[in-house]
Structure 1
Amino acid sequence: MTTEPAKPRSSRRNFLKVAGLAGAGAIAMPQVSRAQTVTWKYQSTWPTKDIFHEFAGDFAKRVNEMSGGRLKMDVLAAGAVVPAFQMQDAVAAGILDAGHGVCAYWYGKNKAFSLFGTPPSLGWDAHSFLAWMNYGGGYDLYNELVQQQLKLNLVGFLTGPMPCQPLGWFKKELKTADDFKGLKYRTVGLAADLMREMGAAVTILAGGEIVPALERGVIDGAEFNNPSSDSLLGFQDVAKVFMLQSYHQAAESFEIIFNKTKFDALSPELKAIVKYAAESASSDMLWKALDRYSKDLEMLRGKGVNVVQTPEAILKSQLAAWDKVLEKLSAENAFFKKVVESQKAWVKRSVGFERINTPSRELAYTHFFKA
């Protein structure tokens, strides 16, 4: 009678032994997977010290940490492998695996490209623009342009809502729209068409080339993006008038692109990590930008820079110029027209809601900070 109870004890021991081995295997499998890492060359279009390059690194940090090292983004600055304006071609060809830039840099291939980076100032901001990308059909149109019309071997994510860009840096303050006539001015993307419509002689330069050109008198004025980036480039050393507010680039965002062949080869989990890292970095970028840009604007004031608001007369002239640019380019390019109509429909509905729903920030700010 004493032998009967021993059998179940032996069975339990065997079961626990087998279960333990199975459990160990279940734990070991992910460890084997995680040991198989992929390192991607990821180049920005920005100089090492630029806050934009920092933003590019913030995205990479999220991917590296969330993937547990299975996908490692090796962050490189502009020129490390190819010049800034050659980054897109290098990613499509597989010379680079990924890149960080702005859509406006590629508008030479199709002017509609700039609609996904520096869209017309329809009364929206970059938050609303990214909402259109995700919920208003923007990504369908972006993918149609990239993969069907231009047949580029790329996958892209738009991220990082930029605050409205300043009109730029000048040797003397601009008072009226006539001051743009004959002005040698640097900008990129659709803003180049806009400023030409206003009479400016536009030159398209990479970030690192702008200040030397302004110093030598090759250009009379220029915009890059924000107080932090502009101060690092040294604008304050060659010009003392910094004009804020403009409709030339009021709703811009960054673009992160990947070689499509390599991206498609990722596991579904890693693809999701890349997508959600872009969305996470998008919010963090704006939080950081509001902190740093405001601090650096005060720093520029302390260095004798005259910070002025762009006169309303110039702003109204920009909007009138947008009318002509959009009409002209829509007549020339059916896809361009298709994108603009989608954007206008989104803005009319969504910003229409915001206008009646959101109280005036100006009214509240002046109430508490009258000085």
Structure 2
Amino acid sequence: MLRRNFLKGAGIGVAASAVAAPAIAQSAPEINWRLTSSFPKSLDTIYGAAEVFAKYVSDATDGKFKIQVFPAGELAPGLEAANEVSKGTVEICHTCSYYYWGKDPAFAFGTAVPFGLNSRMQNAWMYHGGGIELMNEFYAGHNLFGLPCGNTGAQMGGWFRKEIKTVDDLKGVKMRIAGFAGKVMSGVGVVPQQIAGGEIYPALEKGTIDAAEWVGPYDDEKLGFYKVAPYYYYPGWWEGGAYLHIMINTEKWNSLPKNYQAIVWAAAQAANSDTQAKYDFLNPTALKKLAASGAQLRPYPQDVLEACFASAKAAYEEISASNAAFKKMYDAMSAVRADQYLWFQVSEHTFDTFMMNQQRKKAL
């Protein structure tokens, strides 16, 4: 008797499941997107962030939402990735927002701005201070929806053919440097050049440029810059915590089921964390290899940093006076920066400084 009742109840459950299946299927459609990266496949960190993101999306949807990743140049040139997504020729890209500085300086805040935030401060602003919403208010005007998807941490300050001892040594230097940082550098005499990652080494080798910044030790060592420009400067004050972004065509984003949108959010945030962890793990070994290969590590002289800081402040004031979107982002970022540096110098800085001193004393 009990067995018959159990089977009867189980049968009702099976029937109910069969009826419900179409509704479930409708909420998990099969979708195939193409993602165009701004980076070459050889850069497993930056390019790899898009692959990590795509894998999380596929795994979380049992393979129903697949995103195929293409390196720069296959679907679109590296510096045109977001433009193609905006036009709707590709569904999604993985790029640096500041590559599109020429369209509007406000794009810079999606990656990093000179003397701005470090990576943890960036995350605080974006995820809890309204930064993502503020950026998407701006991106919407370009038919894009964006999410952070990778961070390099504080970058290095670039490779130079000649040693930089004073501000005067920067005058006339042709330097590969992207976006807002190029404007700031031009204020101290540098001639900025915007060149995609895969084209930097040939330009340095041929003497088309005199200096170049890219990311940091791991990527820079892979690209071989030390062979043609031995002086390696730090810090990269223009990228204290440089974000990568996924940018999605607005119509494509709005067409996704809500559960797929949630998965994209989570996958991008996971890839964001994964990318910086990978850089933090790989950069120390790469820095040692670069030093052993002849790279000359140099801090920027104090007068160079001060001159660049003054140039940055002038640029912020100039652009804010004529660009309301830029000013809105700058004001929001500045408020976060003031509080974050107040907090970081209390505990983080004190702890790190003590531990670094122990390392110098060979106590670690």
TM-score (norm 2): 0.92
Q: Is the 8 A contact 1:246 1:310 kept in 2?
A: no
| Cα 1:305–1:272 shift into 2, 3 Å | same
What is the alpha-carbon distance in structure 2 between the residues aligned to residue 303 and residue 266 of structure 1?
49
Q: Which residue of 2 aligns with 1:5?
A: none
What is the alpha-carbon distance in structure 2 between the residues aligned to residue 315 and residue 54 of structure 1?
33
After TM superposition, the structure 1 = structure 2 runs for residues 292-371 of structure 1, keeping only pairs within 5 Å, are: 292-358=282-348, 359-370=350-361
Are 2:280 and 1:290 equivalent residues in the alignment?
yes
| Cα 1:264–1:179 shift into 2, 3 Å | same
Cα deviation digits, residues 130-186 of structure 1 (max 9, x gap): 211222222232122111xxx222111023232212111111221112211111111
| Cα 1:180–1:32 shift into 2, 3 Å | same
Letter in structure 2 aligned against 1:139 = I
What is the alpha-carbon distance in structure 2 between the residues aligned to residue 158 and residue 35 of structure 1?
24
Q: Which residue of 2 aligns with 1:226?
A: 216
Q: CA deviation at 1:20?
A: 4.7
Q: CA deviation at 1:13?
A: 6.6
Q: Which residue of 1 aligns with 2:34?
A: 41
SS of equivalent residue, structure 1 residue 113:
helix
Q: Which residue of 1 aligns with 2:53?
A: 59
After TM superposition, the structure 1 = structure 2 runs for residues 152-171 of structure 1, keeping only pairs within 5 Å, are: 152-171=142-161
Q: Of the two, which has the highest radius of gyration?
A: 1
SS of equivalent residue, structure 1 residue 332:
coil
Q: Which residue of 2 aligns with 1:76?
A: 70
What is the alpha-carbon distance in structure 1 between the residues aligned to residue 169 and residue 326 of structure 2?
30
Q: Which residue of 1 aligns with 2:79?
A: 85
Q: CA deviation at 1:32?
A: 4.8
What is the alpha-carbon distance in structure 1 between the residues aligned to residue 164 and residue 6 of structure 2?
87
TM-score (norm 1): 0.90
Q: CA deviation at 1:368?
A: 3.5
CA RMSD of aligned residues (A): 2.2
What is the alpha-carbon distance in structure 2 between the residues aligned to residue 13 and residue 156 of structure 1?
51
What is the alpha-carbon distance in structure 2 between the residues aligned to residue 223 and residue 368 of structure 1?
28
Structure 2's unaligned 5+ residue stretches are none
Q: CA deviation at 1:54?
A: 1.2
| Cα 1:178–1:133 shift into 2, 3 Å | same
Are 2:259 and 1:265 equivalent residues in the alignment?
no
Q: CA deviation at 1:28?
A: 5.2
What is the alpha-carbon distance in structure 1 between the residues aligned to residue 10 and residue 352 of structure 2?
67
What is the alpha-carbon distance in structure 2 between the residues aligned to residue 9 and residue 345 of structure 1?
68
| Cα 1:341–1:223 shift into 2, 3 Å | same
Percent same amino acid at aligned positions? 30
After TM superposition, the structure 1 = structure 2 runs for residues 102-181 of structure 1, keeping only pairs within 5 Å, are: 102-122=96-116, 124-147=117-140, 151-181=141-171
Q: Is the 8 A contact 1:127 1:161 kept in 2?
A: no
Letter in structure 2 aligned against 1:134 = Y
Structure 1's unaligned 5+ residue stretches are 1-7
